[in-house]
Amino acid sequence: MSVAGTYTCVTKTPMGDQTSTFTVNVDGDTFTGSNSGQMGSMEVENGKVDGNTLTWQMKMTVPMPMTLECKATVEGDTLSGTVTAGMFGTFPMNGTRG
């Protein structure tokens, strides 16, 4: 089953729950896409697909410039993973493909 699609996600951060729309466009063992939410839109960088596991980075600009390290696993239409924001720690990210 493909991990491609559009997911409605919630990332639990110190600034509260951040709701976003995460788009995954698969091309072999790589993917492109974006994560758009209240803090703007970030493009997927270095997106990799390994079975049903996704790894990628995103460059955040608000509230401060930072590269986010992300990893998620897709089971059916459910996405669960983490977003690591450098010294700020790692936060859970969960979503549903819709």
Q: What is the pLDDT of residues 31-62, one digit of tens each?
A: 999 999 987 899 999 999 999 999 999 999 88
pLDDT of residue 38: 83
Phi then psi dihedrals of residue 88, to 5 deg: -80, -10
Q: Please state, rounded to an integer, the average pLDDT across all residues of the chain.
A: 95
Q: Is the pLDDT of residue 64 over 90?
A: no
Cα–Cα distance for residue pair 76/82, rounded to 1 Å: 18
Cα–Cα distance for residue pair 74/32, rounded to 1 Å: 16
Name the domain count of the chain: 1
pLDDT of residue 1: 65
CATH number of the domain bearing residue 85: 2.40.128.20
Range of the domain at 45: 5-97
Q: Specify the DSSP class assigned to residue 87.
A: G
pTM: 0.94
